[in-house]
Amino acid sequence: MSSTNDAFVEFSGVQKTYDGEALVVKNLNLEVARGEFLTMLGPSGSGKTTTLMMLAGFEAPTHGSILLGGRAIDNMPPHKRDIGMVFQNYALFPHMTVEENLAFPLRVRKLGKADTHARIKRALDMVRLGAYGGRRPGQLSGGQQQRVALARALVFGPKLVLMDEPLGALDKQLREHMQLEIKRIHENLGVTIVYVTHDQVEALTMSDRIAVFNEGVIQQLAAPVELYERPQSAFVAQFIGENNRLRGKVVAMNGADCKVEIPGVGNVHALAVKVEGVGQPTVLSLRPERVRLNPTPGSLPNVFSAQVAEVIYLGDHVRTRLSVCGHDDFVVKLPSSEGVVQVEPGAAITIGWNTEDCRALDAP
């Protein structure tokens, strides 16, 4: 079986069950382009890691087929797929030096001594550990060990690298640094990377595209800016970034727009993204940074009264929590470049937003 399209990795109708009843992955159809950085993002148990393990060859699909470079790999053992792997726990050999760890996958492939030495040097320089070849993993920090694991996954020149929560054990600052390092290496090498994480910021920072998983199904597959700015479901809107959720009922439709009645608030003009029609329930999704405090009268289609409950200065932005007609967890974010918001808890203000910034979605 071979593929006729240009996809480098292709899942076709893939399903996975462990007990013969509950599907962990449900009818997955997914294509990854050559050289792409694709992230599988989702909560625990959503099917993302199982999907990665099937691609690696550590799990077998219950149904469907997986193609790599146009060839079916369903019956191919992991060591013959020529795939680099990076895990959260590093999986380094503690009794070997850094150079010996990197030499292992090359020795398995029977490379000559000169070629092995050149590849190890190149891989260590790539992760900026050229002077650490003689050390053992126990003599390295967590971040350095993760760099070694990354170098080992790349040293034999795979066309595909799989990463399963590789930065989960690192502290916040080091994790953010490693995100940029991995992205830099990806851009320099042009290797295809399939990355698994439950960290939305990590996914937004690194990916060309993100596949958001939930209950074994991809809820949305898109570029980071598309996922954040234009979520297609209430789940994606809630999982990717912070957002205000208002439940209501559609009372009017007008082309791409709709009017939604929110109990205790009134009618809200919104973009009809995923609604079933007039009279049906919906959830409005509104990003905190899209809300304006005390807008000029008549400048916005949606304007409501609010009371300030809390103001928190967070350096790069000010987070203001409001009470809006009984909704006590309505959040507004303003960049600090606009000046610290001069409001106090208990103050009465107005808030407003544009129709296109408020998305009417499904009501799960």
Predicted confidence at residue 149, as pLDDT, reads 92
* List of long-range contacts for 24-31, beta carbons under 8 Å, 24+ apart: 24/50, 24/216, 25/50, 25/51, 25/54, 25/61, 25/216, 26/215, 26/216, 26/217, 27/64, 27/217, 28/64, 28/216, 28/217, 28/218, 30/211, 30/218, 30/221, 31/5, 31/7
pLDDT digits (tens, 9 = 90+) for 72-95: 999 899 988 989 999 888 789 999
Predicted confidence at residue 5, as pLDDT, reads 60
pLDDT digits (tens, 9 = 90+) for 95-144: 999 999 999 999 888 889 999 999 999 999 988 899 999 999 999 998 89
Percent of the chain past pLDDT 90, that is, above it, reads 75
Helix (H, G, I), strand (E, B) or coil at 9: strand
> Which amino acid appears at position 349 of this protein?
I
Predicted confidence at residue 288, as pLDDT, reads 95
Q: Which residues fall within 8 angstroms of residue 63, CB to CB, at 6 or more apart?
A: 13, 14, 15
pLDDT digits (tens, 9 = 90+) for 232-270: 999 999 999 899 999 999 999 999 999 999 988 889 999
The structure's pTM equals: 0.90
Helix (H, G, I), strand (E, B) or coil at 263: coil
Average of per-residue pLDDT across 152-162: 93
Kindly list the structural domains of the chain, giving each domain's residue range(s) and its CATH number in brackets, ordered by start. Answer: 9-234 (3.40.50.300), 242-361 (2.40.50.100)
Predicted confidence at residue 178, as pLDDT, reads 87
Predicted confidence at residue 97, as pLDDT, reads 95
Structure tokens at 323: 């009470």
Q: Is the pLDDT of residue 339 over 70?
A: no
Average model confidence (pLDDT) across the chain? 91
Supply φ then ψ for residue 210, to 5 degrees. -125, 130
Question: H helices within the chain, ranges in order?
Answer: 48-56, 98-108, 113-126, 142-154, 172-189, 200-206, 224-229, 234-239
Q: Is the pLDDT of residue 338 over 80?
A: no
Predicted confidence at residue 1, as pLDDT, reads 41
Q: How confident is the model at residue 340 (pLDDT cuts 50, 70, 90)?
A: low
Predicted confidence at residue 135, as pLDDT, reads 95
Predicted confidence at residue 175, as pLDDT, reads 87
pLDDT digits (tens, 9 = 90+) for 16-42: 999 989 999 999 999 999 999 999 999
Angle in degrees, CA 261, 264, 270, rounded to 5: 30
Alpha carbon distance 92, 94 (integer Å): 6
Q: Is the pLDDT of residue 301 over 90?
A: yes
